[in-house]
Structure 1
Amino acid sequence: MGGETRVQALVERFYDLMDLEPAYTALRAAHGPDLANARQRLFWFLCGWLGGPQHYTDRFGHPMLRARHMPFSIGIRERDEWLACMDQAMGETGVPEALRERLKTSFFQTGDWMRNK
């Protein structure tokens, strides 16, 4: 991926797009008014998930993604908006195409597993 600087850039662009693009309104509505906490937690999580420092696990223990997201209504629309937003962010931050395709597959599998409606 290119280290923490690249992960941070991806996370920042992801949440910037969520705020800016009308296509991601359902996704944005699922978050509170301030995205700072979400930005930080996704950065910490992705660092470890991508094989780097385990910032998230060190702070909160096992991610337990499905359990931690259960309070949020996640259906096909929310999953697809998250995936589209992340794909756009990966494209705009220069994630290499081969890696981008592998990540898209992994993100889809995780996102589909997270659906609760």
Structure 2
Amino acid sequence: MTDAPAARDPATSLYDRAGGASGIAAIANRFYDLIEQEPEYAELRAMHAPDLLPIRVSLTEFLSAWLGGPRTWFEERPGRCIMSAHRAMDVTQRTAAQWVHAMSRALAENRIEPALGRQMQQAFLGMANGMIPR
């Protein structure tokens, strides 16, 4: 007789399902490693400052808050939203696609559970497309 897989506790937050502070930092850091090292993300990389450390921290804090963890990103930026934070970056369809692709790779490489990964990818796709000026 084999044991059935343990059921996931429905009360577990998305933040915890993504690995908490260390899991989310790993996703953000892998994302920025990819755009820094992979030529296919060169246009996306060019949109960022030379020093990626501050934006690595910012993305980690944003994802943490967005997934139900500490709300540091929002507390440090009262009244600001992620969309407005990107308005000056001149996001194009191409750079939006690069962002979603690199983030999808970061999720997969950090072994985010498939259902959560798909949910996050769909949300990221909507965010990325919403940042393209109309």
Does the pair score TM above 0.5? yes
Q: Using the alignment, how far apart are the partners of 1:49 and 1:75 within structure 2?
A: 24
Higher-Rg member (1/2): 2
Alpha-carbon contact 1:79-1:115 (below 8 Å) kept: yes
Q: Using the alignment, how far apart are the partners of 1:88 and 1:38 within structure 2?
A: 18
The residue that corresponds to 1:45 in the other structure is 62
Q: Using the alignment, how far apart are the partners of 1:114 and 1:101 within structure 2?
A: 20
Q: What's the TM-score once normalised by structure 2's chain length?
A: 0.83
Size of the aligned set, in residue pairs, is 117
Moved runs in structure 1, 4+ residues, more than 4 A? none
Match of 1:102 among 99, 119, 124: 119
Q: CA deviation at 1:36?
A: 0.7
Alpha-carbon contact 1:65-1:114 (below 8 Å) kept: no
Instruction: Determine whether 1:78 maps to 2:92.
Output: no
Root mean square deviation of aligned Cα: 1.1
Matched residue of 2:68: which SS? Answer: coil
Q: Using the alignment, how far apart are the partners of 1:10 and 1:62 within structure 2?
A: 26
Q: Using the alignment, how far apart are the partners of 1:44 and 1:62 within structure 2?
A: 16
Instruction: Tell me the percent identity.
Output: 32
Listed as ranges, the gaps of 5+ residues in structure 2 are 1-17
Higher helix proportion: 1
Q: What's the TM-score once normalised by structure 1's chain length?
A: 0.95
Instruction: Determine whether 1:32 maps to 2:58.
Output: no
